[in-house]
Structure 1
Amino acid sequence: MRTTRTDSRDAKDSLPSGQAIGRSAQIFNEHNLDLYRDQVDQAADAVTAAVRRAKQVHSGVRPSELAPAFEALDLDDACGDMPAALEELRRLYLDHAVYFHHPRYAAHLNCPVLVPSIAAEVVLSAINSSLDTWDQSAGGTFIEQKLIAWTAKRAGLGDAADGVFTSGGTQSNLMAMLLMRDAWCAREYGHGTVQKQGLPTEASRLRVFVSEVSHFSLSKAAALLGLGHDAVVSVPCDAAKRMDTEALAVAIAACRAEGNIPIAVAATCGTTDFGSVDDMTAIGVICRAEKLWMHVDAAYGCGLLVSNRHRHKLAGIENADSLTVDYHKAFFQPVSCSAFIVNNGADLGLITHHADYLNPAEAAAAGTPDQVNKSLQTTKRFDALKLWLTLRTIGPDAIGDAFDGAVALARATYELMLAEPRLELLHRPELSTIVFRYRPCLTTSEAELDALNATIRAQLARDGEAMVAGTKVDGRRYLKFTLLNPATTVEQMREIVDLVVTYGMANDRNAQLVAAVPAANRAYRRHG
Structure 2
Amino acid sequence: MYPPPLHHVFHPANADHYASTVRAGLEHLVRTLGGVAGPATGRSVAGAAARVTAVDLDVPLGDTGAALAELSQVWLDDAVWFHEPTYAAHLNCPVVVPALLAELFIASVNSSMDTFDQSVGGTFVERHLVDWTARRIGFGRTADGVFTSGGSQSNLQALLLARGALEREPLGRLRILASADSHFSVQKSARLLGLGEDSVVCVPTDERHRMDPVALDRSLAACTALGLRPMAIVATAGTTDFGAIDPLPEIADLARAYDTWLHVDAAYGGGLLVSPRYRHRLAGIDRADSVTVDYHKTFFQPVSSSALLVRDGALLAPATWHADYLNPEDPAVASPNQVDKSLQTTRRFDALKLWLTLRMMGPDTLGDYVDALVDLARDTYVAVADEPDLEVAARPELSTLVFRYAPSGLDEPALASLNTRIRAALYESGRAMVAATRVDGRQFLKLTLLNPLATVGDIVGVVDLVRATGARLLADEPAAVASTLEVAR
Task: Report which of the two structures shows the higher radius of gyration computed on alpha carbons.
Answer: 1
For residues 109 and 68 of structure 1, the distance between their equivalents in structure 2, rounded to whole angstroms, comes to 28
Residue 74 (structure 2) aligns with: 92
Amino acid in the other structure paired with 1:207: R
Counterpart secondary structure, 1:361: coil
Q: Structure 2: state its 5+ residue gaps.
A: 479-489
For residues 41 and 5 of structure 2, the distance between their equivalents in structure 1, rounded to whole angstroms, comes to 41
**Pair 1:147-2:129 in alignment:** yes
- Which of 426, 431, 435 is equivalent to 2:402? 435
For the 8 Å contact 1:410–1:431, the answer to whether it is kept is yes
Residue-pair matches, total: 478
Shift of 1:506: 1.3
Counterpart secondary structure, 1:240: coil
Residue 484 (structure 2) aligns with: none
For residues 421 and 53 of structure 1, the distance between their equivalents in structure 2, rounded to whole angstroms, comes to 37
Residue 137 (structure 1) aligns with: 119
**Pair 1:494-2:460 in alignment:** yes
Q: Deviations over 1:134-170 (max 9, x none)?
A: 0000000000000000000000011111010000000
Residue 520 (structure 1) aligns with: none
For residues 6 and 69 of structure 2, the distance between their equivalents in structure 1, rounded to whole angstroms, comes to 26
Residue 205 (structure 1) aligns with: 173
**Pair 1:70-2:32 in alignment:** no
For residues 460 and 405 of structure 2, the distance between their equivalents in structure 1, rounded to whole angstroms, comes to 15
Q: Deviations over 1:302-348 (max 9, x none)?
A: 00000001000010000010010000000000000000111110011
Alignment of 1:443-454 (within 5 A): 443-454=409-420
Alignment of 1:141-220 (within 5 A): 141-185=123-167, 189=168, 202-220=170-188
Counterpart secondary structure, 2:6: helix
Q: Structure 1: state its 5+ residue gaps.
A: 1-5, 7-14, 190-199, 513-528
Q: Deviations over 1:10-45 (max 9, x none)?
A: xxxxx54xxx8532xx10001111111111111111
**Pair 1:405-2:372 in alignment:** yes
Residue 487 (structure 2) aligns with: none
Amino acid in the other structure paired with 1:334: P
Residue 466 (structure 1) aligns with: 432
For residues 346 and 496 of structure 1, the distance between their equivalents in structure 2, rounded to whole angstroms, comes to 49
Any runs of at least 4 consecutive aligned residues in structure 1 with deviations exceeding 6 A, and if so which? none
- Which of 348, 356, 376 is equivalent to 1:381? 348
For residues 255 and 473 of structure 1, the distance between their equivalents in structure 2, rounded to whole angstroms, comes to 27
For residues 103 and 398 of structure 1, the distance between their equivalents in structure 2, rounded to whole angstroms, comes to 19
For residues 416 and 91 of structure 1, the distance between their equivalents in structure 2, rounded to whole angstroms, comes to 40
Amino acid in the other structure paired with 2:374: V
- Which of 232, 241, 262 is equivalent to 2:209? 241
- Which of 409, 417, 425 is equivalent to 2:392? 425
Q: Deviations over 1:209-257 (max 9, x none)?
A: 0010000001000001100001110000000010000000001111112
Counterpart secondary structure, 1:508: helix
Residue 390 (structure 1) aligns with: 357
Shift of 1:184: 1.2
Residue 25 (structure 2) aligns with: 43
Q: Deviations over 1:78-99 (max 9, x none)?
A: 1111111000011111110000
For residues 77 and 220 of structure 1, the distance between their equivalents in structure 2, rounded to whole angstroms, comes to 40
Shift of 1:182: 1.1
Alignment of 1:323-362 (within 5 A): 323-362=291-330
For residues 229 and 273 of structure 1, the distance between their equivalents in structure 2, rounded to whole angstroms, comes to 21
For residues 27 and 339 of structure 2, the distance between their equivalents in structure 1, rounded to whole angstroms, comes to 37
For residues 91 and 397 of structure 2, the distance between their equivalents in structure 1, rounded to whole angstroms, comes to 15
For residues 87 and 67 of structure 2, the distance between their equivalents in structure 1, rounded to whole angstroms, comes to 28
Percent identity between the aligned chains? 53
Counterpart secondary structure, 1:22: coil
Residue 312 (structure 1) aligns with: 280
Q: Supply the RMSD in Å over aligned alpha carbons.
A: 1.4
Shift of 1:443: 2.5
For the 8 Å contact 1:22–1:31, the answer to whether it is kept is no
Amino acid in the other structure paired with 1:39: T
For residues 418 and 182 of structure 1, the distance between their equivalents in structure 2, rounded to whole angstroms, comes to 47
